[in-house]
Structure 1
């Protein structure tokens, strides 16, 4: 099987196969999440539930469950670990919304708007703590090392992004390094631990890590493209958040590199925070479309998604592999 090239589907991909593959196990994971977000302090489950019950694709824990199916794992350890992965992700979202001053998350008011910044940060801390409790209960030092390491990398990536904010000179290389840390690290860890609990080979561990890492980069590239390509009603967050926050995402980096001197002056003022009105956002979107920056960003995402699919070539073809391939293809084609 090694070296096989897995071709992209010609039809529109969906998450249906991976949702079906992981449905039974995800019910167990959701029960663990619901149980472990409880506290005698009523505000904690109320605030956590505001985000956790608000939907989301559950992509990261789904990768742990799908990976377990792929390697033929027969136990249940991965259920608690998938819940730990989701708690890490949820904690980072709560903290991100405070840092960014976000007003929307998953189509409704962000927790920081409803409950305030202090409570949102502290409940994020609570969920991080719960994730580590679940890891310790699993008892594997290797799993603990992978997930705790990913948590540290995510935090570093967020700080790196913060220091790159409003800096027009941010390069594509640095941008990819940032998203590799803040997004892809957890995708990689979530995928890898499936092979660890199943006690599979180092090569299979690495293959799942490569799958998750490349999928995570593709996923974030598309998220960043969507911010300049989709209305709020489809996105579930305010369109133009990245623009107003002065984030140098790939669509902006490409449009700036390809722009005229006049267009570059606009970007310099906008990213510095001097051009943040609705008409400025509209002009930014026009410039990004003029230079095909969204299409180019999606093409980069397609490249990483293909790498994710190719990483699975060491595993035999079957329902699990096909579902994981289609999930990678969905990550590129989605509009939300």
Structure 2
């Protein structure tokens, strides 16, 4: 029997709200004028994503007592769908920028449909997300997710500036993670609190939880790229290396390099992107030698502990426990 994970428990807890959100997603993907929009959107949205971000919006609303008469906050369900649309749009754009071949274990949309349709459909989904934000009925929630959308775009540009650059500092790398990944996690949880009319303290706690969870999630993902399996990643292991991305494991290994030969290896493969078939295996050897993946996971755990601490203003409950366990699930999948 398969293990029931914290993500499974969160999905079950928010199942009714996720059904409403999925209904919104399916209804807003369609376009009579351009059928390709629905085909391309469905390829990604229905590809088995875990819906962690929309589930977090619904969970945050419930944690703040905003379940509604039916047990589901309908404004939060619309916002959850908006969050998923923003996430999907950024994935479509990311895959074009990164020239990715796989997404969620399947050929990416840009491979199947081309770069231009992927970018344009991503733009369409962003537009749909803003329609849903308005319908959620809260100007403050709209502001939060709109700000996050702008921050994500800034993060994409920031990542271009640090790409293939081994002089990237830890502060710069963290700023990219905060913008590209954590901003949407944070907006997902904070908007849930806002739509449930949570107190300022509850809202701030959930904003912090989302931010720290997002950082921990991305650091674990960076570690997984150098030790995970394709089925866990939804992409090919080693894609970050082949794309020359300067992530925490590479930064740590480069900083701890014991010789000029090691440093030159990273310059050649990451900065110059001159790679031979055996280079990924050698990269794994160097990462292991210097404990780079282990250190990355340790850092993810520190951020994860901060996320769990933020939940402590809420009284103990099953839902609070699920959200705390979700942090461990996101981090330990890389261990």
TM-score, with length taken from structure 1:
0.94
Deviations along 1:73-111, whole A, 9 cap, x unmatched? Answer: 023110000000000000000000000100010101000
Q: CA RMSD, aligned part only?
A: 1.5
Residue pair 1:17, 1:326 contacting (<8 A) in 2 also: no
Residue pair 2:7, 2:52 contacting (<8 A) in 1 also: no
Residue pair 1:243, 1:276 contacting (<8 A) in 2 also: no
Deviation at 1:278, TM superposition (A): 2.5
Deviation at 1:19, TM superposition (A): 1.7
Q: Secondary structure at the match of 2:227?
A: coil
Residue pair 1:13, 1:329 contacting (<8 A) in 2 also: no
Distance 1:104 1:209 in 2: 31
Match of 1:14 in 2: 6
Q: Secondary structure at the match of 1:225?
A: helix
Say which of 17, 26, 30 aligns to 1:38.
30
User: Which structure 2 residue ranges, 5 or more long, are not aligned?
Assistant: none
> What is the count of residue pairs matched by the alignment?
326
Distance 1:330 1:196 in 2: 26
Higher normalized contact order (CA 8 Å, seq sep 6+, divided by chain length): 1
Q: Secondary structure at the match of 2:31?
A: coil
Deviations along 1:109-131, whole A, 9 cap, x unmatched? Answer: 00000000000000000000000
Distance 1:13 1:53 in 2: 21
Say which of 167, 170, 194 aligns to 1:169.
167
Q: Secondary structure at the match of 2:6?
A: coil
1:69 and 2:62 equivalent? yes
Distance 1:34 1:123 in 2: 14
Distance 2:104 2:276 in 1: 23
Q: Secondary structure at the match of 2:13?
A: helix
1:1-336 alignment runs, 5 A limit: 14-40=6-32, 41-73=34-66, 74=68, 75-260=73-258, 261-335=260-334
Deviation at 1:199, TM superposition (A): 1.4
Deviation at 1:300, TM superposition (A): 0.5
Deviation at 1:59, TM superposition (A): 1.0
TM-score, with length taken from structure 2:
0.94
Deviation at 1:267, TM superposition (A): 0.6
Deviation at 1:200, TM superposition (A): 1.6
Distance 1:227 1:287 in 2: 15
Distance 1:27 1:121 in 2: 27
Distance 1:250 1:258 in 2: 12
User: Comparing 119-128 with 230-239, which one deviates more in the overlay?
Assistant: 230-239
User: Comparing 179-188 with 29-38, which one deviates more in the overlay?
Assistant: 29-38
